[in-house]
Structure 1
Amino acid sequence: MAEHNESGRLAEQLAADWLISKGYEVITRNYRHGHAEIDLICQHRGLLIFIEVKFRSGTGFGYAEEFVDSVKKKLLVKAADQYIYESDWKKDIRFDIVGVYRDRTGTIHFRQFEDAFY
């Protein structure tokens, strides 16, 4: 597996653990529909939340939310629509981005962008 894939999977696990510590319930990981993949699907405070996880080793090239372009957003919405249909979800939803950042000392930090798009 390529190094960026391994760091992406690790970032997803770290983000899931961090979200759980904040009271989120992880329902599904790596949900696929067509060409789209939703990294994490969680429930929190009555919402179904679709989460895109982005890993960055620093912020020199930008923040996580800057790397979710309009094409990616459309794919995520399409996959979310399918998941909502399959699970017969009738309540509110939200799309978040969780940035996982490693600083120069190797310390991991998280930044969550709630209601990032729709």
Structure 2
Amino acid sequence: MAEHNDLGKWGEDEAVFYLEDKGYTIIDRDWRLGRRDLDILAYTPDGSTLVVVEVKTRTGGKYQQPEEAVTPSKMRNLAIAANAYVKECQVDKELRFDVISIVGSEHQVKSLQHLKDAFNPMLIL
């Protein structure tokens, strides 16, 4: 596996640990629709909302902050994939899009930021 893939997998694992610690229930990971993917799908602690979590991981913050990599094009792809997931799995819950931004390496999380309700896909479609 390429080094950036290892970093991304590590970041997703850290995001899952974080979410579970906060009471979220992870229901799926790396769900794919063609070339589009959803990193993490989870229910909020109260079970009322399905959260699509996009995880962005970087080793350092000197170039672009991880959450800045969630472009309008990426948001659109997430919305399309989430729509397919909701239909396929017959989800009847509120839907929210979050971003978890992680800076660090496989040895240490330097920072983790959870941006709840990071974007509304209806504003970009």
Q: TM-score range by the shorter chain?
A: over 0.9
TM-score (norm 2): 0.87
C-alpha separation between the residues in 1 aligned to 2:22 and 2:68? 24
Residue 92 of structure 1 and its aligned partner are, at CA, apart by 0.6
Structure 2 residue identity aligned to 1:63: Q
For residues 36-86 of structure 1, what are the alpha-carbon distances to aligned partners after superposition, in whole Å with 9 as ceiling and x for unaligned?
110000001311000110101121112222001111111110000001001
C-alpha separation between the residues in 2 aligned to 1:6 and 1:74? 25
Moved over 2 A (4+): none
Counterpart of 2:88 in structure 1 is 86
Residue 87 of structure 1 and its aligned partner are, at CA, apart by 1.4
> How well do the aligned residues superpose, as a CA RMSD in angstroms?
1.3
Gaps of 5+ in 1: none
Identity score, percent: 34
Equivalences, count: 116
Counterpart of 1:38 in structure 2 is 38
TM-score (norm 1): 0.92
Gaps of 5+ in 2: none
Contact 1:64 1:97 in 2 (8 A): no
Correspondences of 1:48-59 after superposition (within 5 Å)? 48-59=50-61
